[in-house]
Structure 1
Amino acid sequence: MRRTSRQIIGVGAVAVLAAGLAACSGGGTPTGDSGGPEKVVFWGSWSGDQVAQLEAQADAFNEAQDEYEVTYVAQELVEEQLLTGLASGDVPDVVLWDRYNTPVYVPKNALAPLDEYIEADGVDLGQFYEQALSELVIDDVTYGIPLLVDNRSLFYNTAALEEAGVEPPTTWDELKAVAEATTVDEGGTLTRAGFQLNDPGLFNMWLTQAGGQMYGDDEQTTAFNSPEGLAVLDFWQSLLDAGVYELGFGEGVDAFAEGNVALKLDGPWALSGLDVAGTEYGIVPPPTGPNGDKGAGMGGFGLVIPQGAKNADGAWEFIKWWTTEPENGVSFGEISGWIPANIEAANDPYFTDNPKYAAFIETLEFAKVRSRIPGASDVEGKALIPQLERFLAGEITAEQALAEAQSLGDQILADNR
């Protein structure tokens, strides 16, 4: 039996909607108003060339059936716009959603539970990467379906490695050796960096490779101020001491695309730009740490239905079509370069037979999402990364950086309990 949108709208959202006497232009069209396909309004933060990608996928859905018509509307700061829309009664029907934001916006009553739809249509959630799905489930309630996944794998400039007579690295030790072999210094000026060490925000993946963890098992305190955390910073320092990178090198340009960086950690979003630039490159999984531990972060997007969506049924049909039919996930990958969160789609030959994607698919098998401990994002953004930046700049020692970050981070966690 067909469900109505009202069935998934929470009490709080109904009260909010009562305050909005008229729908604004961003919201969906109620069913039956036009006599034609029911309108489904699709919001997301993607802009520029990515708008055409999403519009093409919406058009494919529109052509596949005649009951609904999806229209994409780009929004800056889409999460904030959603909260504003909830207050006015002007919300979209479906949102391209950064999964990491789910724990923040569920308590704000911004997202509708989808379990009723999932159960009624017999959708098997096991078809999605478990880590990606976990970011959309809060207290055993499912608030979205995983759509796209990504990770950082190791890009290498094929010409630079061939010139140096070295193979792509698979371990930290090999990474340092290859970086040193491919670094070019002309008269004391670095002209090609062996490795681009410019993102301290990737500390958590390095820490996993070192065998460490960001938080204690009780999730009450940080755990990165550890021998493993120190091993990461010591390795970073060894790269800087070897002269394979200088802070600020290549800033403001894509130095890898220009051939001025031999190795870097990056994601599938970089592929199209490198291909346009004509860069010759390869990709392998991230290197393993001193004891062979693997580590990588998983990010990406899902699809959610806001509380108060006027056409939640149409939104759900669009979500189900895109995420549970592998061929539709693959077709969007062909359009956009993104990897589907549907495991069968991600392992389609389109990805696995392409050496540029194969490494990402392999890395997805061990990649993990960021912590959902309350305050975790602030621990990284306000406590840890600023201290790591000071360390890389040579202002403080590794021990000082981790100790200061631990002190600030533990206080943030305590404040969020």
Structure 2
Amino acid sequence: MLKNKSVSILTLSTLIMLTACGSSPTNGAESTNGGSASGGGKIIVKYWTANGGKIEEAKQNLVKKFNESQNRIEVQQANQGNYDDLHAKVQAAFAAGNAPSVFDLEISSTGIFSRSGMLTDLTPLAQRDDAQIDLKDFNPGLMGNAYVDGKLYGIPFMRSTPIFYKNVTMLKEAGLDPASCKTSTELEQYGQVLKSKGKTPMTMAVGVWEYEALVAQSGGKVISDDGKKATFNSPEGVAPVEFWKKMYDEGVIKFVVGKTAGADAEKDWSNQISAFKIGSTAGVSASLEVAKGNNFEMQTDFMPANKSYGVPTGGCHLAITSKLSEQEKEATWEFVKFMTSKENTIYQHKYVGYLPNRLSALQSDELQNYYKEFPQYKVASDQLKYAVLRPNANAYPEISKTILDAMTNAILEKNVKPQDAMNEAAEKANKLLSKQ
């Protein structure tokens, strides 16, 4: 899922020029983008997805269910890798005139995709079908990034927050109370105890998503509200980097880097080398399976607080591309409504761990009874009361790379001061923001 993946501004700029210079829509059954209606047969809807494992399995199961539920529309699903891969392929396909009808759009890229003209404004469709789609039923904490400039461009689908995973067995063996460790101060204290007993308290990759949570907990913002200025070099933005550097120097947090960083951190957790991990709620189901298979008990909790709790949301919307024929757009909209229904929200939540986006799903007897047996699934929904929007500036996907590089350098290099690293990154970010 899972974390936000960036979209290159240069790539999108090139895409927009290609699209502007491209050919006009073709006549006949096939549209410029999205799919086709062949000879009076079924309307074909191309659906491109990101991520694999249980996440992809859940989508495949839902697509199969939709296709079997009616005989007018056939959804053809194709996995395109991670969010970076998917977004790049959608850009290229859009320019070439054969984009998918619908795809998993990671929420932090909604701004640049919508403003480039690649997405259908869903506002009129949602207003027309209010009785079916019922936007008021979606958790308010998940709707902010669905809107850009007052228009609706995505329907929450597999949405997530980072949460705190605890190996209860390791904590008990170390004489620590698994129910505690609610603050960053307690995390450091627990870490020192675990370290003294020869354990690795936590392994994690340096991540912008997790960083956004710590900035919110400090009362700060990564980008100004108007999207015109980088603010992550403020005291509130630098504090998380200083904290992580301190934890790294003390041996409380083991940071891993490189393309396999996420997998390496997960391996430490699975093998009970580390007692804690910060991960997406999309990993709850898989983590419970790992815990059961490796004979340890697992709990989930809110991200440890600083001045307060705070957490960004993540995951994807279902977004419909523009330039579809009216017939294809309506068919794709039917699919989107199906995938985001109460029933299917409950299904994907239990199958994977992604948030139950709909309030009616969260409040259902089915889930309330499920949480009594598996309370680990409920934590992310409870934490949403502290959710903050992810920056929606066009340049943010590129800026997030700059932040990531600066943090990694500041944390791992002894002589690099976090303030200096973040100041330099902010200068680069402001240049990108000025070009929007």
TM-score w.r.t. length of structure 2: 0.80
1:259 aligns with 2:272: yes
Q: How many residues align?
A: 394
1:306 aligns with 2:321: yes
Q: Which runs of 5+ in 2 are unaligned?
A: 1-18
Distance 1:169 1:229 in 2: 23
**Which deviations, in whole Å up to 9, do the C-alpha atoms of 1:70-120 show, x marking residues without a partner?**
231223533333333334432333222222222112233211122222122
- Pick closer, same or farther for the CA change 1:194–1:80 going to 2, 3 Å: closer
* 1:198 aligned to which of 205, 227, 233: 205
- Pick closer, same or farther for the CA change 1:283–1:225 going to 2, 3 Å: same
* 1:71 aligned to which of 66, 72, 76: 76
Residue in 1 aligned with 2:186?
174
1:410 aligns with 2:430: yes
* Letter aligned with residue 314 of structure 2: G
1:269 aligns with 2:274: no
Distance 1:115 1:229 in 2: 35
Distance 1:247 1:95 in 2: 32
* CA positional deviation for 1:399: 2.8
Deviates more, 1:306-315 or 1:254-263: 306-315
Instruction: Report SS of the residue matched to 1:41.
Output: strand
**Greater C-alpha radius of gyration:** 1
Q: Which runs of 4+ in 1 moved over 6 A?
A: 12-15
Residue in 2 aligned with 1:57?
62
Say which structure is richer in helix.
Answer: 2
1:347–1:361 Cα contact (<8 Å) kept: no
Q: Which runs of 5+ in 1 are unaligned?
A: 1-11, 187-191
1:16–1:88 Cα contact (<8 Å) kept: no
* CA positional deviation for 1:124: 2.8
2:285–2:351 Cα contact (<8 Å) kept: no
* Letter aligned with residue 124 of structure 1: D
1:320 aligns with 2:337: yes
* CA positional deviation for 1:170: 0.8
* CA positional deviation for 1:266: 0.9
* Letter aligned with residue 45 of structure 2: V
1:146 aligns with 2:156: yes
Distance 1:234 1:49 in 2: 36
- Pick closer, same or farther for the CA change 1:13–1:337 going to 2, 3 Å: farther
Instruction: Report SS of the residue matched to 1:256.
Output: helix
1:17–1:86 Cα contact (<8 Å) kept: no
Instruction: Report SS of the residue matched to 2:269.
Output: coil
Counterparts of 1:124-273 in structure 2, within 5 Å, are 124-167=134-177, 168-183=180-195, 192-201=199-208, 202-217=210-225, 219-248=227-256, 253=264, 254-273=267-286
* 2:35 aligned to which of 24, 28, 32: 28
Residue in 2 aligned with 1:92?
100
Distance 2:124 2:63 in 1: 24
Q: In angstroms, what is the RMSD of aligned CA positions?
A: 3.0
TM-score w.r.t. length of structure 1: 0.84
Deviates more, 1:235-244 or 1:166-175: 235-244
Distance 1:24 1:374 in 2: 28
**Which deviations, in whole Å up to 9, do the C-alpha atoms of 1:358-394 show, x marking residues without a partner?**
2111112222231113423333312x22221122112
* 1:337 aligned to which of 340, 349, 353: 353
Residue in 2 aligned with 1:389?
408
Residue in 2 aligned with 1:4?
none
Residue in 2 aligned with 1:9?
none
1:106 aligns with 2:120: no
Instruction: Report SS of the residue matched to 2:88.
Output: helix
Instruction: Report SS of the residue matched to 1:92.
Output: coil
- Pick closer, same or farther for the CA change 1:125–1:402 going to 2, 3 Å: same
Instruction: Report SS of the residue matched to 2:76.
Output: strand
Distance 1:283 1:179 in 2: 17
Identical counterparts, % of pairs: 22
- Pick closer, same or farther for the CA change 1:156–1:376 going to 2, 3 Å: same
